[in-house]
A and B are shown apart, each in its own frame.
Chain A
């Protein structure tokens, strides 16, 4: 079993819709949770960072962490065609905070 599970998609939504992405994980030691966006032929770009449980909002993006369920989510409101990319969840434990464990990534396509 993988430590981090993420549906690879593709997930196709119309412009303006809410995009809902999620990951589950098995390692209860994970404390740091991140969402990255990756465009084709580019490196991952940090979108959201959350420590432990809770919600965090930044503009159109909301990240949620539920440690009791080992489940994290990313919501993108008012999606735009420019949001079309691969979204990767990543997480790490306190004693190895720099060693990220990535999900496989979900490809998102926002159609005009």
Chain B
């Protein structure tokens, strides 16, 4: 089966601009997660979708971040307006009972 696909793989934007990250989970996986790793820190949980519903968004840093999951399929994570501290690698993962977590390769976001 195809893995978790994220794009873009790398994005460089200026402070104050908007960026939208996309994640296509493995087909049929209801559980979708977003994580983030900022420079020098561990990977941290952002939020969890079950189908199109937000199950847990306790890790979202602030209201500049908006996540959506259209029809329970792909998900987007929008950062508006981006700040320097938002730079990092954003990972998406989907989960099922057989394979557990499958992570995408991540989107490397650089805010300048």
Total contacting residues, chain A, CB less than 8 A: 22
Closest chain A CB from B42 CB (angstroms): 5
A-B contact pairs, 14 of them (CB 8 A): A2-B42, A34-B100, A41-B105, A44-B43, A45-B103, A46-B101, A46-B102, A98-B95, A99-B56, A100-B43, A100-B45, A102-B43, A102-B44, A103-B42
Supposing A99-B56, A100-B101 touch, asked if A43 and B93 sit within 8 A by C-beta, the answer is yes
Total contacting residues, chain B, CB less than 8 A: 25
Contact present for A105 and B42 (CB under 8 Å): yes
Interface residues of A in 20-53 (CB under 8 A from B): 34, 41-46, 49
List residues of B whose CB falls within 8 A of some A CB. Answer: 4, 31, 33, 35, 41-45, 48, 55-56, 58-59, 91, 93, 95, 99-106
